[in-house]
Structure 1
Amino acid sequence: MTNISRRLIGVLIVLISPYALFGQVLSLEEAVKTTLSNYPSLSAAQSALEAVRENAQVIKDNRLPNVRLHDQINVGTANGLSGSYFSMGLIVPTSGGRRSENSMDLASGNIALATADWEVFNFGRFQAEDRLARADIIVGESAVENEKFGIRQTVINTYLDLLWLRQTLKIEERNLARVDTVRRIIINLVHNGIRPGLDSSLATVEYSRAKLNYFQMQQELQRAFIQLATLTGRPVKGLEIDTTFQQQALLMQPFDIKLNADHPLLRYRSNLVNRQNTEVELIRKSALPRVSVLTSAWARGTSLDIDNNFGPIGSGFGYSRTNFLVGVAATVNLTDFHRIKNRTQLQQWRVKQARSLLETQQIQLQNTLTTSDSVMATVRLALMELPTALNSAERAYQQRLSLYNNGIENILGLTDALQLLTTVEKQSVNIQRSAVDVRLQRAYATSNFDDFFALFRR
């Protein structure tokens, strides 16, 4: 490779990928931890959980006795008339004697009122409400864990994309260097009349194609860096991933792990089933009678005397009569028993839906685990075959290059050897990626990431 070519590649790396020179190294586990500490969707889920917790206290507050104090001073007419009516909240009640004529004389009055009512017993509805509130909190907590689990998967996938893109970029860089070397050799041979001019044109085309592939890979790498920066909340120019990768660990048999009910996805679905079942009980309790304690005391004054004569207005502003009342009331709405039948049936369908989603999630996770275990042996065989394939492709390229220099091989054969070597190198990255994806699938299915994270620890 000439000095000019080396400088060209160096300039491309500096201009298109400044992360490598100025980046802050971020490991996979640190990326996950950083994202979980500040990602907006997780904050939203946590806020929703706090709202559910606060709602449990609101439910308790609603059970406190209703205690009302009221006092009013009035001035108006007092013309009474026999007859009954529904006030409907619109007709102002008037307390006064009956007269043969309508009088517009004014009377004053004063009334103070204190009432209290307290629902003290309802055959277990309060307890059912508390159980539903606790079930909502448990569902909210598992929803937060579920959100964390999903964010972790997103960060891991983005981080792995960066890792494989970096490796693929190195392959494109090596391919660009090899193509440039071949191009210079061919141009020299063409200038000396040893090779036809067509070889020079083909070599130039291959060199341009290699540069285009390199530029495209740089663009994909930039997009992946931007996505990881968005997830972790770090500036793009200050971000660089740790490329530590224990490739040999992929050849080892991983620990035998099983699907368990404590998986965040299963725990969320299971808690949702319990919550829906709890609401069935509350619906049934809501139609039962309610027993309340009622108390009331009031004092009243008026400017009308005992004979219903109008007195001085000021005489009605004091209190001249007092009363109190204490009682126990039992209330039941008979039509509620019909309503809860339909509401219970509706809720039972929601329970069935939640159970079906739980079973579906269990099947999906079990299939993921079974699939990853079944292909792991095949992937391990492919990993063991990689060194042979890479060495063979490298030797084939060197032999074709030597034969071309000696005039025995043509440009097409040399180009085929170049492309084969690059293809095998990319296939090597893809096989490693498949092996890591299998480990990630096992971690996803079991929510056990210790074995997976060990692949990226120093």
Structure 2
Amino acid sequence: MLHSRLVFCLTFFVIGTFSPKLYGQNQDTLVFTLKEALDLAKRNYPLIKSRTAQIEAATNDVSAVRASYLPKAGFQAQALFATSNQVRGAYYSVEGLAVPVAGGIKLTDFDNKPAWTSLGAFTVDWKAITFGRLRADKNAAQSRLAHSEQLLQQEIFEHQIRVIDAYLLALNTQKIAQLQQRNVVRTQNILTVTSANAASGLKAGIDSSVAAVEATKARIQYMNSLNIAQMQNVVLSELIGRPGETIRIDTMHFYRQLPYQPLVDSIGLASHPRLKPKQLEIDVANNTAKQIRLNNMPTFSLMGSVWGRGSGISQNMNPDQSFSINSSITEGLPFRAYNYMLGATITWLPTRYFETRHRYRSQQQQAISIKENYKLISQQLTTSQKNAALQFDMAYQTAEQTPIQVAAAKQALAQSNARYESGIESIMVLTQVGDLYNNSQTDYLVSVNNLWRALLMKAAAHGDLNLFLEQIPN
């Protein structure tokens, strides 16, 4: 009798003292429906924001390409203090490291006296005829923009799948934790009754010991399920862009009705969110190849310029065939001569053909590689659609059977409890039937959740999340 009382008190103390709450209901707890979670994820998830920034970058690239072919106008002004000695003969200014000197050859000796010179010029240069390069550059930039936009849509689609799946798993683990919490209460009630009966001599002392074992086991199962639920909650909070916050799932009656097999329109795979980016990537590769091929074409430009120059060196030659040099800045900077120029130029580098040919062939092979990847993804999606249909059918059949299992286990538990109270059955049979009932309820929760996840798999395989979202109960 003393042993029975000790077991009862110790078990009650452990369960009562260390019983955690399922998702602490405090002011910081966030309650989300699935659609609210999807909206939050779309707004907050960093990778989606990254894709949005890439679209903005690609948009600016398109504008930059258009602007690069506009007439280029520039102004420059110079004020130099230098000597002006020259010799006959040629030189080549490699990357501008050699400084040119303008003026005639002096017939007298070289002079180290410097003078101020000035230059002001305004020049307009326009690539009037590009032989298709402008259009090719614009098409390449626009195809990259379209690809970036579709990558965003794909990322939203993929992330919504991840969020929905994490939401369903969090919902399932929460339900299982609540179920195990009820199982703790049930086993505790049995322990209370058996301990009282053992203390009064109506039942054997072993009954209270067995009941204590079952109550402790139920407690451990509850703590394990609660830990899993909290970990899944952390995963979900990270996916919706609210890491570290506690989220309480709004079940939205997921377990009150089963989803049905959706009717899928016979839409081609080309519109699938996982295939569209690959198709646009092929377009990018093809447009880039055209862009490379046209780099070998010439460029026809129109140009015009006006400029003025000043110098501290005299225009007229002295009687001794020298030039007067005035080092004053006021003599050298004012313009003394003005000029203008209008004309056209054509530039063509025919030897670039050899480089362009290999780059073009390389880009063509890149396009072929992307096309083969496109075919692979298309085949994988076809297989996924067939597998998703099979998975849904199997999950639906299982979900239809588990309620029958729960009802039978519930009836068996009631009968076993009555037989135990009448002294016909032992505590061992009662605990076994209790475990059977708890497992059947768990199987039911898992089967319904698996059915919803199978529906999600089907929607993902067909590239249409509305197949899933339209069946969410209000």
Secondary structure at the counterpart of residue 305 of structure 2: strand
The alpha-carbon distance between structure 1 residues 363 and 13, as it changes in their structure 2 partners (threshold 3 A), is: farther
User: Please, which of 44, 47, 51 is the counterpart of residue 45 of structure 1?
Assistant: 51
* Residue number in structure 1 paired with 2:314: 304
* Residue number in structure 2 paired with 1:410: 426
What is the alpha-carbon distance in structure 1 between the residues aligned to residue 243 and residue 78 of structure 2? 66
The alpha-carbon distance between structure 1 residues 251 and 96, as it changes in their structure 2 partners (threshold 3 A), is: closer
Equivalences for 1:296-445 in 2 at 5 Å? Answer: 296-302=305-311, 303-307=313-317, 309-311=322-324, 313=326, 315-445=331-461
Equivalences for 1:132-147 in 2 at 5 Å? Answer: 132-147=140-155
Q: TM-score, normalised by structure 2?
A: 0.86
What is the alpha-carbon distance in structure 2 between the residues aligned to residue 237 and residue 116 of structure 1? 60
Compute the displacement of 1:15 (Å).
Answer: 4.0
Identity of aligned residues (%): 23
* Residue number in structure 2 paired with 1:91: 98
Q: Give the letter for the 1:310 counterpart.
A: F
Secondary structure at the counterpart of residue 73 of structure 2: strand
The answer as to whether partners of 2:22 and 2:178 remain within 8 angstroms in 1 is no
Is 1:272 the equivalent of 2:281? yes
What is the alpha-carbon distance in structure 2 between the residues aligned to residue 384 and residue 353 of structure 1? 46
Compute the displacement of 1:207 (Å).
Answer: 0.9
Q: Give the letter for the 1:93 counterpart.
A: P
The alpha-carbon distance between structure 1 residues 172 and 21, as it changes in their structure 2 partners (threshold 3 A), is: farther
Compute the displacement of 1:197 (Å).
Answer: 3.2
Is 1:35 the equivalent of 2:41? yes
Is 1:209 the equivalent of 2:217? yes
* Residue number in structure 1 paired with 2:4: none
What is the alpha-carbon distance in structure 2 between the residues aligned to residue 104 and residue 243 of structure 1? 93
* Residue number in structure 2 paired with 1:110: 118
Pairs aligned (count): 456
Secondary structure at the counterpart of residue 300 of structure 1: strand
User: Please, which of 185, 190, 200 is the counterpart of residue 193 of structure 2?
Assistant: 185
What is the alpha-carbon distance in structure 2 between the residues aligned to residue 72 and residue 18 of structure 1? 75
What is the alpha-carbon distance in structure 1 between the residues aligned to residue 237 and residue 118 of structure 2? 71
The alpha-carbon distance between structure 1 residues 116 and 54, as it changes in their structure 2 partners (threshold 3 A), is: same
What is the alpha-carbon distance in structure 2 between the residues aligned to residue 405 and residue 84 of structure 1? 118
Compute the displacement of 1:135 (Å).
Answer: 0.5
Compute the displacement of 1:238 (Å).
Answer: 7.2
What is the alpha-carbon distance in structure 2 between the residues aligned to residue 17 and residue 87 of structure 1? 76
Q: CA RMSD in A?
A: 3.0
Compute the displacement of 1:138 (Å).
Answer: 0.5
Compute the displacement of 1:264 (Å).
Answer: 1.8
Q: Give the letter for the 1:309 counterpart.
A: S
What is the alpha-carbon distance in structure 1 between the residues aligned to residue 25 and residue 295 of structure 2? 63
Compute the displacement of 1:372 (Å).
Answer: 1.8
The answer as to whether partners of 1:19 and 1:237 remain within 8 angstroms in 2 is no
* Residue number in structure 1 paired with 2:88: 82
The alpha-carbon distance between structure 1 residues 383 and 316, as it changes in their structure 2 partners (threshold 3 A), is: closer
Q: 1:271-300: CA deviations, max 9, x gaps? A: 111111111111111111111123333333
User: Please, which of 452, 460, 464 is the counterpart of residue 448 of structure 1?
Assistant: 464
Decide which moves more: 338-347 or 378-387. Answer: 378-387
Q: Give the letter for the 1:406 counterpart.
A: S
What is the alpha-carbon distance in structure 2 between the residues aligned to residue 79 and residue 450 of structure 1? 82
Compute the displacement of 1:55 (Å).
Answer: 1.3
Equivalences for 1:233-312 in 2 at 5 Å? Answer: 239-247=247-255, 249-250=257-258, 252-258=260-266, 260=268, 261-302=270-311, 303-307=313-317, 309-311=322-324
Compute the displacement of 1:24 (Å).
Answer: 5.3
Q: Give the letter for the 1:425 counterpart.
A: Q
Decide which moves more: 152-161 or 123-132. Answer: 152-161
What is the alpha-carbon distance in structure 2 between the residues aligned to residue 70 and residue 22 of structure 1? 63
Q: TM-score, normalised by structure 1?
A: 0.89
What is the alpha-carbon distance in structure 2 between the residues aligned to residue 318 and residue 450 of structure 1? 76
